[in-house]
Amino acid sequence: MAQEDGKHCAVCGKDQFSLAHDEWMRRAFPFVEKGQLKMCAGCGAKYLVCKSCGGLFTRVHPALESWEVNQKCPACGAEDPAVKAWDGTSSRHF
């Protein structure tokens, strides 16, 4: 897996993204509900958008665990309170 730099997809390495909307992820993850998602044009991987720089804060996928989530934006170092508050248990309701 490529090193995350907040600009390139950690899965395929491409740097083209479009804004995405995912109802399931919005309901499963509170930080997605409060933020925005971008989807990689190359492989379809989804990322939470950094509120400070618009970069890729952390990758989001349906089986996400709390340890996989970046606590800081890899591009600018900003923290997201909604990400920090997530303990990895929100998706158990689904």
Interface with Zn ion, residue 12, by CB under 5 A: yes
Q: Which is nearer to Zn ion, 15 or 33 (CB)?
A: 15
Q: Segment near Zn ion (CB under 5 A), from 18-26, 40-48, 61-69, 79-87?
A: 40-48
Nearest Cα neighbor of 8 from 50, 52, 56, 59 is 56
| C-alpha angle 31-61-25 in degrees, rounded to nearest 5 | 50
Interface with Zn ion, residue 85, by CB under 5 A: no
Contact status, residue 67 vs residue 73, Cβ threshold 8 Å: no
Interface with Zn ion, residue 74, by CB under 5 A: no
